[in-house]
Structure formats: C-alpha cells, structure tokens
C-alpha cells in the first residue's frame, strides 16, 4: 500500500494511506489531504492512484507544486519522491517497489540498522521476550527524517536492533515488555533522543521521539 508522509520543518506531522482514485490536497475543509496553511491553495493538487501507480497533478495553484526544486504540472510518483507544497514536504512511500528501487532502502538498513547477529549483544539490560499475541497487536517503527533515504520506514520487529555503521556502534534499541528502550551501552558514539544524549542505562522511547544517530535523524513511531 502506498502512503504520503507529511513533513513540516523536517518533522513528520502525519502519514496518510492512499486510496484508489482521486485524493485532493488543499487548505479547504473536506480535502482528502487537508493542509491548513496560507501558502496552500483551497484545492492545491490532486493525487490519482490506479493499481500500484500514483500520480500528482497541480490544480493551477497560486504558489505551485515542486519536485526537486522544479515546478511541476503532473508527475508519476516513484518511491521516495518528495513534493513540496507551501512549507510542507509530502514524501511518497510504497511497499510495491522493484528490486532495483528497493536497493537504497536495503543499503540504508545495512548501514544504519545493523543485523543484531553482526554485533555482540549488550550485557544489560536484557530484552524481555514478548508473547506472539503482543507482537501481532503492536510494534514500533523508525521513519527516516533526513538524508537521501528520507521517508523510508524500518519496522522494529526484532528483540534487539543495533544502531550504527559497520564497525561503529551507536546504541541499541531493545523491545521489552513495556515497549521499546534505547541505550548507549558499549556505544562508540552516543545517540541522542530529542536533542539529549542517551544515558548508558537507557531510556524508554515514546511515540514521536526523534533519534539522532550517525548523522541521521529518525523518528520513532509506536503502532
């Protein structure tokens, strides 16, 4: 399923699943994607989805619709495209991508989210096993807020997820009974949460927390 992630000042403010057919974007109440900002026209643009393909078309808006700093009239979305409307950025993300298109996300995952098996697990705290029922009900995810992979989503389905580039550890996210905990035990570079360094003993993550790690900003979202 494709979705639009809406960002303002590089912070994720909403994410909307795209439905088949037309979805209007604008300031006018009743628009499918409502953006209440004076820089946005009443009916600014339209997203049309058919099958696995989505298109965006500017509706003769006053301030225009932009992709890569170029004003566009119509555009066929590709995974990761970022469209600017007023002061808002709309990131198009789809699960239906080809192997070639998926490569950047896979490379990012290998670089920033390292397979736990590739690194020694922290001695403490110990991740608490979560029942299969609890796992199916909810889990967390990371949205990439900055860099070339902005808009990518990484599901936190493992008990232990190590953060950092190859050979450089920058913290660990543990799935515990109470939710998700990030700690800096044995970290070569201490990550930050909401601008503050993570203490060695760790802290619990809350929905919307912004993590800075290895020069990349990610937002934690609880489902």
pLDDT digits (tens, 9 = 90+) for 27-85: 999 999 999 889 999 999 999 988 888 899 999 999 999 998 899 999 999 888 999 99
112 in a domain, yes or no?
no
109 in a domain, yes or no?
no
**pTM given for the model:** 0.45
124 in a domain, yes or no?
no
- Over residues 201-213, the pLDDT tens digits come to 889 998 888 888 8
102 in a domain, yes or no?
no
Residues 145 and 89 in one domain: no
205 in a domain, yes or no?
yes
Per-residue CA distances from 220 to 96, 110, 161, 170, 206 (Å): 23, 18, 13, 16, 7
Residues 82 and 153 in one domain: no
Q: In which domain, by residue range, is 159 found?
A: 141-221
Which pLDDT belongs to residue 128? Answer: 44
Which of 64, 79, 94 marks a domain boundary?
A: 94
User: Quick one: tokens of 43?
Assistant: 């009916």
The count of domains in the chain is 2
The CATH number of residue 40's host domain is 2.60.200.20
Q: In what order do the strands lie in the sheet with 88-94?
A: 11-17, 2-8, 88-94, 82-85, 65-67, 70-71
Which pLDDT belongs to residue 1? Answer: 74
- Over residues 74-113, the pLDDT tens digits come to 999 988 899 999 989 999 998 654 433 444 444 444 444 4
């Amino acid at each position: 399923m494709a979705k639009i992630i809406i960002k303002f000042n590089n912070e994720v403010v909403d994410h909307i699943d795209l439905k088949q057919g037309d979805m209007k974007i604008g300031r006018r109440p009743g628009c499918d994607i409502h953006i209440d900002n004076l820089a946005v026209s009443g009916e600014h643009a339209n997203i049309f989805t058919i099958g696995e393909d989505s298109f965006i078309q500017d509706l003769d808006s006053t301030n225009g619709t932009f992709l890569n700093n170029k004003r566009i009239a119509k555009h066929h979305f590709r995974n990761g495209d970022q469209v600017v409307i007023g002061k808002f950025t709309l990131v198009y993300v789809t699960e239906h991508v080809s192997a070639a298109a998926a490569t950047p996300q896979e490379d990012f995952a290998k670089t920033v989210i390292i397979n736990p098996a590739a690194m020694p697990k922290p001695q403490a705290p110990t991740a608490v096993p979560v029942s299969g029922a609890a796992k199916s009900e909810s889990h967390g995810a990371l949205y990439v807020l900055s860099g070339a992979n902005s808009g990518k989503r990484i599901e936190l389905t493992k008990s232990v997820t190590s953060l950092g580039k190859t050979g450089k550890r920058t913290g660990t996210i543990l799935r515990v009974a109470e939710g998700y905990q990030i700690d800096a035990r044995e970290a070569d570079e201490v990550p930050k949460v909401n601008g503050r360094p993570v203490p060695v003993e760790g802290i619990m993550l809350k929905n919307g927390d912004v993590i800075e790690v290895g020069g990349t900003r990610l937002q934690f979202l609880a489902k």
